[in-house]
Amino acid sequence: MMEQLPALMIAVPLFGAFTTPLLKKRYNAAAVWALIITAATLGLSLLLVQEVLNKGILVYVFGANKPTLVLPSGYKVPIRIIFEIDGIGAFMALSATLMSFVGALYSYSHVKLETGLEKYYALMLLLEVGILGMVLTGDLFNLFVFLEIAGIAGSALVGFRNYRGEASEAGIKYLIVSAVASLMVLFSIGLLYGEYGNLNIAYLSRQISFNTVDMIALGLLFVSFAMKCGSVPMHYWVPDAYTEVPAGINPTLLVATYASLYALFRVSFSLFGAITWSMARVGWIMSVLGVLTMFIGVTMALIQKDVKRLMSYHAISQTGYMLLGVGVGLTVLNDPAKLAAFGRDAMAGGIFHIINHIIYKSLLLMTAGALFYVTGTRNLNEMGGLARKMPYTTVAFIVGAAAISGLPPFNGFASKFLIYETSYQLNPVFTVFAMVTSVLTLASFVKVFASAFLGPPLEKYEGVKEVPKPMVVAMLILAALCILFGLFPNVVLDKLVYPAVDALLKLAQYQSWGGLA
Amino acid sequence: MNFTLLSPSGFWDPVLWLIFLILFGIIGYIIYSRGNPSYKPNTEQVKPYLSGNAEPSKEKITVRAGDIYWGFIEAMNGYYDALKRMHTGDLRDYILWYLGIGAIILFILVGGV
């Protein structure tokens, strides 16, 4: 079974997605089925991580044993679809499966009163398939196909509550933004295929000559994935989509956003990793976009009155930290002394922040979903005094808010600590912006806490009570992870994050399909 | 297992931090427990004194989210005006920003800078 693991990672949720619509109008059964499928996929991803950590890069060739076809002349060329899973791919796959499982658990109660839930769960599993395909594949066209699957499933889920005009509008916006970005990704892939006659990332990265056409392809891939991961000033779709999507989908949609960030890193470090003269420029662009993203995101969050919209702007802001961390590493990629001194740790901070952010932002968006579930509004001006009525949600919110603000000993602090220290060594101005952003983040969550949870109990919420158990359990799982990742950052860094960083840095290993070439 | 996170210029030990937090928490609780013994909750003692005026309803005295940081937002009015102008909510603007940033990045990468 182990050798089929990469294919099973796609096959299991895809099977779930195609079978869920058979449970039409049996919503409880559809929810339980989705829960079983996401749990099974989570188990598979844990095995996958173990395999990658033990054996190094995993290569899975569809329809053959070897990645290359050897021609009579001795020329070796990859012609089949190949999954190439290294540390960063396994890291992202684990994040995707964990969040899909938690999202399915939360959804069990959260969307119970909606209709068409067999479609909801089918689309949720399809979104998981899209993300997993993006992070596991070693083929550019395959990447595009899975990007499309994730984009279409994601936009249908954003517009799921189509009885709300805003949800339909947000769904259409997400669909068009995704389609434009995907179109440009396809155009770039076409440029590279036209030049080199191949679609395999490892093979292309060995052939690429960095001429003007290649640089145009790099630019288009960079800007398209930057828009898909919500980088400022191309972030406008994020608050629309995250606010309207049901809270149970928020964790998976967050990972879908970071699958695009993963693609951006894969393009920068693997596909174009051999380039020497331009990567410092790309690194500086990434770092500056990161600082702009974090600052504009947080200042926009501060003035929001809609609790989910406020948290969506924070999602943008936190993406800035990841861009900054990895951008610093990319800037010094071709300077071995600086890379060893702080570049590798900067990348570790950025990548560690991905999983930390996925955990605490999913938690916070779920608490926002819980507030909506109980009060029927997302307007903070209409809330107050809910801490006594919703003690578990309150505790979960406090943990999530402390984690996102970078308060020790929660997980957000550990990754921000690495980003502050390392970005300072590239340019202290970056660190100043990063720290001010953290202060403003804390201020923003103090506002949410004060207006929604504190204050005297309001008469209109006299009869409200805590959200149902599945929602509480999903939130508490994530709160526990925030604490555990914060108390034992070294364990996560050593087992998951540094292998992911090294996978991006060891280009020769990726280019040779882990030594199979 | 080593729980200390080493960074390029220092270290961070969350377990040690937690031990100190618990220690200071205990000290804080001891100080708190030695507080004023004449305080009695749920009596006339804790009601607000409003010079004889009736106490307003809970809804009226709750600080709304829109009022928090009012001064900060007023002081940053110019910055927020510019930001709000950028956030039109119009899909065509989203695509225009994408095209604009794409053009700048291509210009930098292809050799303009």
**Strand extents, DSSP E, A257-301:** none
From first to last of the 113 residues of chain B, give the pLDDT tens digit.
677 888 888 889 998 999 999 999 999 999 998 888 888 888 888 887 888 888 887 777 777 888 889 999 999 999 999 999 999 999 999 999 999 999 999 998 887 55
A290 and A207, same domain (yes or no):
no
Helix axes A117-136, A87-110, angle to 10 degrees: 170
Give the model confidence (pLDDT) of A109-146 as tens digits.
Answer: 999 989 999 999 999 999 999 999 999 999 999 999 99
Task: Name every chain B residue with its beta carbon within 8 A of the beta carbon of A222.
Answer: 105, 109
Q: In a mutagenesis test of the A interface, which of B9, B85, B94, B110 is the best target, namely the one with the most A β-carbons within 10 Å?
A: B94
A425 contact partners, CB below 8 Å, separation of at least 6: A338, A341, A342, B8
Chain B residues close to A212, C-beta within 8 Å: 110-111
β pairing state of A69-70 and A76-77:
antiparallel
Q: Could you give the CA distance from residue A118 to residue A101 in angstroms, rounded to a whole number?
A: 16
* Tally of residues, chain A: 517
**Domain assignment of residue A140, given as a range:** 1-274
Q: B6 vs chain A: nearest CA distance in angstroms?
A: 9
Interchain CB distance below 8 Å, A233 and B97:
yes
Let me know whether A282 and A268 are in one domain: no
**Rg of chain A over CA atoms, in angstroms?**
22
Across the interface, of B4, B8, B68, the residue whose CB is closest to A342 is: B8
Q: pLDDT tens digit string along A252-275?
A: 999 999 999 999 999 988 998 777
Domain count for chain A: 2
Same domain, yes or no: A252 and A335: no
Task: Say whether both A158 and A29 belong to one domain.
Answer: yes
Residue B82 contacts A, CB cutoff 8 Å:
no
The answer to whether residues A256 and A396 belong to one domain is: no
CA-based nearest residue in chain B for residue A418:
B7
User: What ipTM was assigned to the predicted interfaces of this complex?
Assistant: 0.90
Question: Mind telling me how many Å the CA of A487 is from chain B's nearest CA?
Answer: 5
| A274, A307, A335 - which closes a domain | A274
What pLDDT, in 10s, does the model give residues A437-467?
A: 999 999 999 999 999 999 888 888 888 999 9
Instruction: Output the pTM of the full model.
Output: 0.92
Contacts of A277 (CB under 8 A, 6+ apart): none
Are A213 and A345 found together in one domain? no
Residue B1 is predicted with a pLDDT of 66
What gap in Å lies between CA A450 and CA A445, rounded to an integer?
A: 8
- Whether chain A has a CB inside 8 Å of the CB on B24: the answer is no
Q: Indicate if A295 and A183 belong to the same structural domain.
A: no
Q: Cβ B68–A384 below 8 Å, yes or no?
A: no
